[in-house]
Amino acid sequence: MKCTLCDTNLLVMADEYYFICSTCGAYVKDEKYYLERKEEKERYKEHDNNVHDERYQDFTSPITDAILETHSKIIAAITFSVAKCLSIFMSQSKR
Ligand SMILES: [Zn+2]
């Protein structure tokens, strides 16, 4: 099986269901766990692609939660760094 992002042969399993790509780091579901076409269509029909649809929010939440968690950590790190720099600049300007 090949990475769906960069076409590298997938050799390392991250867990029972996912490979981890040695080139791009993507987690790619083992194709033996892919849904059949009919199952996929039925699953897809459980929601509307509307950001206000709670079923759609639930459907996309694994991805959006991961992005928000990472984004929040990055923003917190930047905020801390900027605050630290401002503190240093302000203490130096008082001299
Ligand atoms: Zn890859």
Residue 36 Cα, ligand 1 centroid: separation in angstroms? 24
Three-class DSSP category at 29? strand
Helix residue ranges, H only, 14-53: 37-44
Domain chopping of the chain, boundaries: 12-93
Amino acid at 44: Y
pLDDT digits (tens, 9 = 90+) for 36-93: 999 988 988 887 788 888 888 888 888 888 888 888 888 888 888 888 888 888 888 7
pTM of the full structure = 0.51
Residue 41 Cα, ligand 1 centroid: separation in angstroms? 26
Question: Cα separation of 45 and 15, whole Å?
Answer: 29
Nearest to 31 by CA among 45, 43, 19: 19
Residue 18 Cα, ligand 1 centroid: separation in angstroms? 12
Residue 65 Cα, ligand 1 centroid: separation in angstroms? 22
